[in-house]
Structure 1
Amino acid sequence: MRAADWRAALRRHRVAAGVEHAVVLRQLDRCRAVVDIGANRGQFALAVRHVFPDARIDSFEPLPGPAATFRRVFAGNALVVLHPYAIADHAGTTRMHVSARDDSSSLLPIGAEQERIFPGTAEAAVTHIEMRRLEDVLQRADIAAPALLKLDVQGYELQALRGCETLLDAFAWVYCECSFVELYAGQALADEVIAWLRERGLRLIGVYNMANDHDGRAVQADFLFGRQKQERDSSLRSE
């Protein structure tokens, strides 16, 4: 995907590519598959398509409005598949707290700190969405190595990761937005996510796109985790 395609997505569908993520993606070895959890309108998928034009992208977005826009952006692209589910540690139906800015919506209640630090993101509605475990939707054969797992799920990171656990060893990298302060009620904070992934062989290798509050306090960032190179090489040899 060329920069012209980014401009077309913005002009035709009002979807801006997540260009801040392209810098991170370029640091990875060749990437053949991306699982994009919390896809919204396709901002991250646009960045992936630019950096890795031949990678398969399986995106997950449970809100119908953003999902409809995503489908329009990637209409006719056979390498991009949208699944209309949230990923969680069990399957079922649950409440989604819809933010006035829908990319801040969460399966957890939106907290006062979220609205204070990011004005305009308070709860505007509640809807019901479908949850699945990753293994309910994808098989290991669908995830060609080396693969990237990306999560941007507004405080629901640890529950979503648990929903990916049976397939976690299929990924060379995990790229996950995490918070240092509680923005959503009951969310796991960055140190908990880091510890959970480290126990499963993924160490923190970079922190990007730091957001700070008005007092300069670190609020959230994008965290990149990776496996040791020999583990990645072993995974590639098994293909």
Structure 2
Amino acid sequence: MKHLIAKVGKLAGILPVPSWRRALLRQHVAAGVEHAGVLRHLGALRMVVDVGANRGQFALAARHFFPQAKIVSFEPLAGPAAVYRAVFAGDARTTLVEAALGPQSGEAMIHLSARDDSSSLLSITAAQNALFSGTAEVGTTTIRVERLTEHVQVGTIAAPALLKLDVQGFELQALIGCEDLLEEFAWVYAECSFVELYAGQAFADEIIDWLRQRGFALRGVYHMVYDDQGRAVQADFLFGRPDTRIGD
């Protein structure tokens, strides 16, 4: 019942927005309305780098709140990438790169989940499927991994800018792949975990510490997920530079 109520609430949030409604009806992509409460308070962003874009759910939300922003998205899987392109066909301010971000450029094996948005460059653990039913590994494939500087250059990131990461346990490696340009961003918004959903992943406290050492303070924790025993599993974390604040 709880999941049904959540789905109905999300649908109610999507339908009043024409671009979100079109994406849902034409490409069956549900805009990330759950992020609206964060995005609407980040000020007038001029650039969004969307790492782990899947079908464009987050990019749809970002485009609605920041209609003039440049959006550069990264999605390594061909299927979701094709849907993303269909969703944003004709949007000249949106670019999709069919690759993952990581510390080094090259090819890598990605572990495919039965739900492609749960696929990861790290092995999928039994805990992931137990907590999120239907996300077990179903195969592997080879993808491109690149660094952010291969697609975005110093001086081309319009301020203020947001770096968003939803990469299924690969957050720290993806951040390292963005480190050369990290100082160009005002905000970092990343999904992080408290338990090992993907083998060898960095946990939330490690991400918090890594970003703190590079000048980002934790500004908010959103969408906390708990297991059936009340233990925290994962959440979305917002980090900002010292001169940023929610509501700017």
TM-score by length of 1: 0.95
The answer on 1:112 being equivalent to 2:130 is no
Match of 2:7? Answer: none
CA distance in 2, matches of 1:230, 1:54: 20
Aligned partner of residue 9 in structure 1, secondary structure: helix
Match of 1:187? Answer: 201
Aligned partner of residue 142 in structure 1, secondary structure: coil
Q: Residues 56-205 of structure 1: matches in 2 within 5 Å?
A: 56-205=70-219
Q: CA deviation at 1:194?
A: 0.2
Match of 1:36? Answer: 50
CA contact (8 A) 2:186 2:244 kept: no
CA contact (8 A) 2:192 2:236 kept: yes
Pick which of 72-81 and 21-30 moved more: 21-30
Q: CA deviation at 1:6?
A: 0.4
Q: Deviations over 1:52-110 (max 9, x none)?
A: 11100000000000000000000010011000010000000000001000000000000
State the AA in 2 paired with 1:128. T
Q: 1:129 to 1:230 in 2, by over 3 A?
A: closer
CA distance in 1, matches of 2:148, 2:71: 14
Q: 1:26 to 1:112 in 2, by over 3 A?
A: same
State the AA in 2 paired with 1:190. A
Q: 1:64 to 1:214 in 2, by over 3 A?
A: same
Which runs of 5 or more residues in structure 2 are unaligned?
1-15
Match of 2:6? Answer: none
State the AA in 2 paired with 1:101. R
The answer on 1:209 being equivalent to 2:223 is yes
CA distance in 2, matches of 1:209, 1:52: 22
Q: Residues 4-19 of structure 1: matches in 2 within 5 Å?
A: 4-19=18-33
CA distance in 2, matches of 1:230, 1:29: 10
Aligned partner of residue 181 in structure 2, secondary structure: helix
CA distance in 2, matches of 1:131, 1:137: 12
The answer on 1:54 being equivalent to 2:34 is no
CA distance in 2, matches of 1:125, 1:75: 30
What's the Cα RMSD here?
A: 1.4
Residues matched between the structures, number = 231
Q: CA deviation at 1:230?
A: 7.3
Q: CA deviation at 1:137?
A: 1.5
Q: CA deviation at 1:41?
A: 0.1
CA distance in 2, matches of 1:92, 1:144: 28
